[in-house]
């Protein structure tokens, strides 16, 4: 194998894989750097190989073992994954033995990698638990290598209370849902009954997934001409089981899709610029916010425009409904009760919706690039109930508390503000971030508020004391997305460092 490589390619292998090492019978890395006859990129990569970093040393150790193995064996074709593994999976089929090899830091990197890939191929809760344990490995390569090997079943393992974690950080998660998108995934949404998952990409495609298998439910749904900016499901109390969802796009259209029929059943057109956000309300109305500074209301039987809400002087960035929490969770609450039929689920979801909504109309809040927010009762009037001012920069995200009593807003002015969810009156400002605040999320009991910022931190705010309760550093770069699990036990965050973190405490 090695003899068939061209001089340049062979030199590249040496450079990438070796750390001041000499392969038997071949040249030293420093000699490659000084050989002016070689391609410049080869000599450039040589400088990377001379780096004394732990990552380079461990990569070299792996490479030497892999090269030695490939000299004596042919590459395996049995892996079910579309990846290039730096070590062949170990032949042992005992999860316990593989776990011991993986966690033993006295073993070579190659042996531990071989155990890792064997556990990956085996799958199942026991194997996944073993992989999770190696997240604490004292290795520059092994810990980040573990992340892409975790199966989509990982959340089931995390629900096991017997699994002990170190402080608050549970795991950095990566869900390898086989294939489906060919461009960035920009948004994702679960159906309220938990049966469907749909994601939208920069290519303008939507992909439905089977949450039980992690595989695509058919081909991507095509119709939008530009990237997807938002997804919202029809509430389960209106239609069970869940079938329909609405997507919004940079192309200025919103489309209603039937997940069972796998086709677009309605196109909502009327905005003159990109749609930035979309919500499917509990009364069956769809709300779309746009860069044309308007919010439009649509009925969903024929897709007709009901009403247009005007008032903002710049782009509408975010929308939130006072009933959003129960719309998102449907019939499910902290009891984790299972339902025998869609009709039973629909009935319970309707009861929860009515309780949260109360006797008044469903409320809507909007946040804009014009630094302001508006509180609306859109079923009653096309005029805003309250204009909410105080932010010194664009409002990036707005969110009602689960009980509908509070509104939180996140802004590029580095602050999070709290407002009365009924009247829209200002209550408090939470300051502590040193960069723009991108997103916020509420705990299920409405007592705590989570914020994620450009400053790479998450912060938890106590609504009762109106003070910072906990600071969560850990990301290496900007935190773009945060969410609180409906059971209130876990927090998820994702950011520019391309890591999804799960926290508990």
Q: What is the DSSP string of 149-187?
A: G--TTHHHHHT-TTS--BTTEEEEE-----S--SS-EEE
Q: Which residues pair with 370 in a beta bridge?
A: none
| Structure-token pair, residue 31 | 């000699």
Residue 65 has pLDDT above 50, yes or no: yes
Residue with tokens 């469907």: 196
- Portion of the chain with pLDDT greater than 90, in percent: 46
Q: Is 368 helix (H, G, I), strand (E, B) or coil?
A: strand
Judge contact between 206 and 200, C-beta under 8 A: yes
pLDDT digits (tens, 9 = 90+) for 167-204: 233 333 334 444 567 777 788 888 888 888 888 888 89
What number is the average pLDDT over the span 119-148? 64
What number is the average pLDDT over the span 470-496? 82
Residue 159 has pLDDT above 50, yes or no: no
**Separation of alpha carbons 258 and 266, rounded Å:** 9
Residue 100 has pLDDT above 80, yes or no: yes
CA angle in degrees (0–180, nearest 5) for 232-148-455: 65
Judge contact between 424 and 379, C-beta under 8 A: no
Put the strands of the sheet holding 244-249 in their side by side order: 228-233, 244-249, 254-258, 263-268
Residue 502 has pLDDT above 60, yes or no: yes
Q: How far is CA 162 from CA 129, 143, 198, 312, in A?
A: 11, 22, 31, 51
What number is the average pLDDT over the span 9-36? 47
Domains of the chain: 2-52 (no CATH), 183-309+323-355 (2.130.10.10), 362-505 (2.130.10.10)
Q: How many residues are listed for the chain in this entry?
A: 505
Q: How far is CA 449 from CA 80, 390, 458, in A?
A: 42, 19, 10
Give the per-residue pLDDT at 37: 58
Q: Is 258 helix (H, G, I), strand (E, B) or coil?
A: strand
Instruction: Supply the DSSP symbol for 334.
Output: T
Residue with tokens 């531990």: 112
Closest CA to 309 of 234, 385, 250: 385
Judge contact between 185 and 177, C-beta under 8 A: no
Residue with tokens 């945060």: 482
With a threshold of 0.95, does the pTM exceed it? Answer: no
């Amino acid at each position: 194998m090695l003899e068939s490589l061209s001089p340049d390619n062979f030199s590249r292998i040496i450079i990438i894989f070796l750390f001041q090492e000499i392969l038997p019978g071949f040249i030293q890395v420093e000699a490659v750097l000084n050989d002016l006859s070689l391609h410049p990129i080869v000599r450039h990569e040589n400088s990377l190989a001379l780096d004394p970093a732990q990552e380079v040393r461990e990569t070299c150790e792996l490479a030497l073992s892999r090269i030695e193995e490939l000299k004596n064996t042919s590459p395996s074709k049995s892996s079910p994954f579309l990846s290039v593994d730096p070590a062949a999976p170990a032949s042992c089929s005992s999860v316990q033995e593989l776990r011991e090899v993986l966690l033993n830091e006295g073993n070579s990197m190659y042996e531990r990698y071989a155990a890792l890939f064997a556990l990956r191929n085996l799958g199942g809760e026991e194997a996944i638990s073993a992989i999770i344990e190696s997240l604490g490995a004292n290795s520059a390569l092994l810990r980040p290598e573990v992340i892409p090997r975790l199966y989509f079943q990982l959340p089931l393992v995390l629900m096991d209370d017997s699994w002990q974690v170190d402080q608050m950080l549970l795991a950095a998660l990566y869900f390898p849902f086989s294939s489906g998108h060919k461009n960035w995934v920009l948004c994702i949404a679960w159906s309220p009954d938990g049966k469907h998952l749909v994601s939208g990409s920069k290519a303008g495609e939507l992909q439905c997934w089977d949450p039980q298998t992690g595989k695509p439910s058919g081909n991507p749904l095509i119709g939008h001409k530009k990237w997807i900016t938002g997804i919202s499901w029809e509430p389960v109390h209106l239609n069970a089981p869940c079938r329909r969802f609405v997507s919004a796009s940079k192309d200025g259209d919103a489309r209603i899709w039937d997940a069972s029929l796998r086709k677009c059943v309605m196109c909502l057109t009327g905005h003159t610029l990109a749609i930035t956000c979309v919500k499917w309300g509990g009364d069956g109305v769809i709300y779309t916010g746009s860069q044309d500074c308007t919010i439009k209301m649509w009925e969903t039987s024929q897709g007709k425009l009901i009403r247009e809400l005007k008032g903002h002087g710049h782009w509408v960035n975010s929308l939130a409904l006072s009933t959003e929490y129960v719309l998102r969770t449907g019939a499910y609450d902290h009891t984790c009760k299972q339902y025998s039929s869609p009709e039973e689920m629909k009935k319970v979801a309707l009861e929860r919706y009515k309780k949260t909504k109360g006797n008044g109309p469903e409320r809507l809040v909007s946040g804009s690039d014009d630094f302001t927010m508006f509180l609306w009762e859109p079923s009653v009037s096309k005029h805003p109930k309250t204009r909410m001012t105080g932010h010194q920069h664009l409002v990036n995200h707005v969110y009602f508390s689960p009980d509908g009593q509070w509104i939180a807003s996140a802004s590029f002015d580095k602050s999070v503000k709290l407002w009365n969810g009924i009247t829209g009156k200002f209550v408090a400002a939470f300051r502590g971030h040193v960069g723009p605040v991108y997103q916020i999320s509420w705990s299920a009991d409405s007592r705590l508020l989570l914020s994620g910022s450009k400053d790479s931190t998450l912060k938890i705010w106590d609504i009762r004391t109106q003070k910072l309760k906990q600071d969560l550093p850990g990301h290496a770069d900007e935190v773009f997305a945060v969410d609180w699990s409906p059971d209130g036990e876990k927090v998820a965050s994702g950011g520019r460092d391309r890591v999804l973190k799960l926290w508990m405490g």
